[in-house]
């Protein structure tokens, strides 16, 4: 039988390949190119414009880390906005908190949602939770038009800053996020990777913009085997809460949520950054 390999350029000099068993679908939307594949090693996965977004094997790492760090820092969060995240994994983790009242998700490309519902039901299965409202529009325009002080938490679950995700790394966007957050508000953003220079450049740019807007800004790391270099970051920015000093980790443990990556040791440890990353952020 013919071997079919999915290959992605992680840099001009490095390629990453996964042996696939089926190319389930290829579709061009007004926003991007979507491909769904099946594989032995990573299960079903999809790519946007030739970059891995979600696969069944490591999505738990990303979705645990984008959600639980903020939720453990402020247990009184009631209203959340997710920007991007069409696969539904971030919403799935949020719906596990009975305390949440409203989860709004704004995804630019409805096809990502519909195809994830069809091919990745474990990831997308909680988009039907009654607390969830889906809007299909550009997250940049959504926050621009939203009233002041509305959300307790914004999770930016976006693609990289090339293509439709570009605006979600802009100063204007972060500024509007600050404005639509309550005085207790927290912003978590997809913060790229410190390892390969092209990604590190975007990481520094994002950090310097956010640092100029929020009084508290931190960066935390996690291990994503299928993203370039495997070393990935989220940004934590807030008006009031420090994720290390203010998180009530015992209270989070008492909730009894079963997670596969996040735990309260990881909560603290994820903020301990390697020296080269600290130096890049200091200098951003
Ligand atoms: N849960 C991990 C999956 C993603 S996909 C990111 C989503 O952001 C995509 O569905 C894309 O359509 C959506 N998106 C991109 N731009 C916008 C925008 N301007 N407004 C709203 N949604 C948008 C994240 C993967 C991270 C990959 C890191 N290499």
Query: DSSP assignment of 62-111, as one string?
Result: HHHHHHHHHHHH-TT--EEEEEE-TTSHHHHHHTT-TT--EEEEE-S-HH
Structure confidence at residue 3 (pLDDT): 84
Q: What is the whole-number distance in angstroms between the Cα of residue 29 and the centre of ligand 1?
A: 14
Residue 9 has pLDDT above 70, yes or no: yes
Structure confidence at residue 128 (pLDDT): 98
Q: Report helix, strand or coil for 273.
A: coil
User: Is residue 116 within 6 Å of ligand 1 at its C-beta?
Assistant: no
Six token digits for residue 110: 């409805």
ipTM: 0.98
Contacts of 59 (CB under 8 A, 6+ apart): 87, 89, 123
Going by alpha carbons, the residue nearest to atom 26 of ligand 1 is: 159
Question: Active-site residue numbers?
Answer: 157
Residue 201 has pLDDT above 80, yes or no: yes
Model confidence at 127, pLDDT cuts 50, 70, 90, reads very high
Q: What is the mean pLDDT of the chain?
A: 97
Residue 242 has pLDDT above 80, yes or no: yes
State the CB neighbour count (10 A cutoff) for residue 252.
21
Contacts of 218 (CB under 8 A, 6+ apart): 235, 236, 237, 242, 243, 244, 271
Model confidence at 1, pLDDT cuts 50, 70, 90, reads low
For the CA of 139, the closest atom of ligand 1 is: 20
Mean pLDDT of 7-27: 97
DSSP assignment letter at 147 = P
Radius of gyration of the chain (CA): 18
Per the DSSP assignment, residues forming a β-bridge with 219 are 235
Residue 176 has pLDDT above 70, yes or no: yes
H/E stretch holding 112: helix 110-119
């Amino acid at each position: 039988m013919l071997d079919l390999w999915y290959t992605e350029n992680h840099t001009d000099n490095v390629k990453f390949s996964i042996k696939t068993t089926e190319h389930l679908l290829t579709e061009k939307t007004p926003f991007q190119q979507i491909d769904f594949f099946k594989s032995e090693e990573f299960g079903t996965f999809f790519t946007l414009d030739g970059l891995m977004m979600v696969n069944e094997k490591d999505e738990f790492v990303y979705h645990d880390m984008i959600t639980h760090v903020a939720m453990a820092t402020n247990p009184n969060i009631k209203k959340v906005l997710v920007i991007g995240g069409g696969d539904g994994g971030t919403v799935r983790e949020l719906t596990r908190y009975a305390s949440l009242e409203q989860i709004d998700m704004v995804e630019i490309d409805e096809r990502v949602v519909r195809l994830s519902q069809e091919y990745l039901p474990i990831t997308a299965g909680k988009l039907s939770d009654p607390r969830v409202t889906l809007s299909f529009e550009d997250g940049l325009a959504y926050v621009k038009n939203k009233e002041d002080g509305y959300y307790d938490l914004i999770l930016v679950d976006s693609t990289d800053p090339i293509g439709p995700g570009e605006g979600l790394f802009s100063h204007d966007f972060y500024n509007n996020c600050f404005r639509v957050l309550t005085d207790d508000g927290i912003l978590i953003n997809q913060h790229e990777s410190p390892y390969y220079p092209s990604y590190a450049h975007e990481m520094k740019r994002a950090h310097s913009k956010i640092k100029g807007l929020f009084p508290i800004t931190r960066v935390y790391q996690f291990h994503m085997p299928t993203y370039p270099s495997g070393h990935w970051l989220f940004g934590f920015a807030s008006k009031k809460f420090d994720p290390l000093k203010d998180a009530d980790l015992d209270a989070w443990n008492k909730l009894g949520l079963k997670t596969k990556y996040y735990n309260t040791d990881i909560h603290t440890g994820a903020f301990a950054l390697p020296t080269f990353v600290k130096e890049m952020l200091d200098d951003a």
